[in-house]
Each structure stands twice: as structure tokens, then as C-alpha cells.
Structure 1
Amino acid sequence: MFIEPNIRGERRGWIEVICGSMFSGKTEELIRRLKRVKIANLKVEIFKPAVDIRYDETNIVSHDTNAIISTPIDNSQKILLLAQDADVIGIDEAQFFDPELANVCDELAYRGMRVIVAGLDMDYTGKPFGQMPFLLAKADYITKLHAICVKCGHIANYSYRKIPNEEQVMLGATDVYEPRCRTCYHDNK
């Protein structure tokens, strides 16, 4: 995909959302798309929530340790200021952003930018997570990725939290979460 001028010469933007459970490859796919855009010499701006410091304070890093430089921010409105000249915007861990994220993405797409957003569609309780439902509603393209259930080997759609904690947001990796299919997730609750 690329940004193509329409008949009137203006750029048309859109929103792509990459979603799925923990360990499904969302960040890996985001990084892959953004690296391809860079090869095409398009101007890219990449953002992540400042709260996500699991692997690195500034880089977006996948569980496979693939990484790309990003700008940590604590408010989605900053994206509008920092990405004014970009062709493509990348946003990781969208579920951790404030309620304005979907509107910010909509504004960027209206300005003619390609917006690629990745995030968890469900929290550890199996409920829609943060701003993801609003982004999915506004998305022009949606990619739902799946992990592999660690219990039975089937397609996993759920992020099972292995330790007791009822906070919705709890950063962690394989030490805290594991991917599970619908059956294994519900059987072990």
C-alpha cells in the first residue's frame, strides 16, 4: 500500500489496525510494514506509549527482539504535532493510549497519511481493551493475528495472565502472560 494522490491531486490517507493476543506477532508485523515504508523513502514517524518500557525506553521491540526507533509519548495529541510532515505514522501498543487516539488517527488519515496501529484487542479478562474497539471501528484495513495456544497447540486468541492481579494494565511478557485458545483459556480460569 502507498499513498496515492487522487484526481484532484490531494493525498488520500487511511487507517490500518493490526490486532490480536499477546505473542501473535502484532509488533513484528508493524515493524515489518514500517521498514518496507522506509525502503520506499517515505517519511515515517513512529510512536509508542511512554508507559511501555518492557524492552526499551524508546525503541519498539517485538518479543523476537526485532526493533525500530520510536518516540515515546504520554498523550496521543502529541502525534498531531510531531508527525505533521510524515507520509506514514506507526503506533504500537494502542490499547495503552488515551481516549483521543482514534480521533487523532482519523485526523491523520484525513490529512492524507497512512496510519498503521498495532495493539491488543482484548485484555486478560477477554474484554475489549482500551481504545482498540474505537480504532477497529474507524479502520480501513484490519489484520487479526493469532498466536499458538501453549496448552493444546490450536490457534490462540486470548492473553491468559498467569499470576494473580486484577489491574487491567500490567506490563509483562512470558513471565506474566501466555497465549491460549478459547477452550484452554476458559477451562483454566
Structure 2
Amino acid sequence: MFLEDTINHHAKSGWIEVICGSMFSGKTEELIRRLKRAEFAKQRVEIFKPQIDTRYHEEEVVSHDENSISSTPVPSSGNIAILADNVDVVGIDEAQFFDDELTEVCVQLANRGARVIVAGLDMDFKGHPFGPIPNLMAVAEYVTKVHAVCVKCGNLANHSNRISKAEALVHLGEKEDYQPLCRKCFYEIQSATK
């Protein structure tokens, strides 16, 4: 249920921005850039990431090229709604790892007047829509799809091809586990493994 009744028509208007794409496409880098600009403008900013993502740092959001910004790790999207009270800008990284309630949480925050910036993978390693990202893209005012470079042919990459043997849908990894591929190269590899 989206709580349209939480909108205060006299308050400032909030909105949702989604930054999505494959691994190594610069999603987190773009999220950090937008959040640092908001901090520079003296806006009240709160940043969240899933508690399970400890690849680079337990409490910071860190991009692959090691830019970082302080964040609060949380176990579920419900925690974001509680902790993001009275802020101007809410940043959420690795949103694909959150539960499906994240969409409603983001809508509630935007309805309260917050600018909500969400970054995450739009597809899993099998090429299927991933977690709450597709629903967030549907309700967002702004969607930015960023691309990596295909390691096979050099075209724009929009797939995260898993090269490790891990089978679980959620598998935190880096370059030893994933490679960015374009549509053609991804489907050639997928067809060869069937």
C-alpha cells in the first residue's frame, strides 16, 4: 500500500531518483557524487546500505575506485524509514539486496518531502530483473541507467556475468566473481552453458 495520505500538500515536494546498471558501471560513484553535492549545499543527508554488504567497509559506501562516504548499515528497509526522519536527502546503495518493502519506504520518504537517491543492480547474474529495483524504476521521477564496458568486445555492457561457481542469487563479489558484458556477449555465454 502506498500511503498517499502521508503527503503534506504544503510541504516541499520530494522525489525518487534511481541509478541502475551492471556491476562496474559507476552506480555507486554516481550516488556518492550526488550525495556529496547535497552535503556541500548544507542539506541534511542520511545514507544507508544493506548490512550484508561488507566488501570494502562495514560502515561506508565505497565505490570500486575507492571513493567513499559514511553510511548506516541496516538489516531491512523498515529501518531506513525510522532512521531517515527529518532529512533532506536519503541515499541508498546496493538497493537490490533490500526487501520488496523498499519501494514503499522510498515513496513514503518522497511523500514527506525528501529527495531519495537509490543505486543498485537492475538485473541479476542470470539477466533477470533484480529485487526492488524494477518497482523503484516504475515509481521514480528520474532514472539513470549507467553502463560498464564489455570485457569481451568493448561495447556498452549492461549485464553482470558471474564467472565464479557460486549458485546463490545473492553472492557478494568483485572482479574475481563477475565481469561486465554487452547483450550479445552475455547471451552467447548463456547459450553455451545451457
Same fold, TM exceeding 0.5? Answer: yes
User: How do 1:1-189 and structure 2 match up within 5 A?
Assistant: 9-189=10-190
How much has 1:9 moved relative to structure 2? 4.7
Q: Residue 164 of structure 2 aligns to which amino acid in structure 1?
A: I
Instruction: State the shift of 1:79 in Å.
Output: 1.0
> TM-score w.r.t. structure 1 length?
0.94
User: Displaced runs of 4+ in structure 1, greater than 4 A?
Assistant: none
Are 2:16 and 2:139, in contact at CA under 8 Å, matched by a contact in 1?
yes
Aligned length: 182
Shift, 1:14, TM fit: 0.2
**TM-score, normalisation: structure 2:** 0.92
1:149 alignment partner AA: C
Equivalent-residue separation in structure 2 for 1:121 and 1:89 (angstroms): 19
Which residue number in structure 2 is paired with residue 4 of structure 1? none
Structural RMSD (CA): 0.8
CA distance in 2, matches of 1:165, 1:62: 23
> Per the alignment, in what secondary structure is the counterpart of residue 188 of structure 1?
helix
Q: Which amino acid aligns with 1:145?
A: V
CA distance in 1, matches of 2:89, 2:112: 11
- Deviation of 1:99 (Å): 1.3
TM superposition shift of 1:123: 0.2
In structure 1, the gaps of 5 or more residues are: 1-7
Identity rate of aligned residues, in percent?
59
Aligned partner of residue 143 in structure 1, secondary structure? strand
Q: CA deviation at 1:186?
A: 1.2
Contact kept, 8 Å, 2:11 with 2:112, in 1: the verdict is no
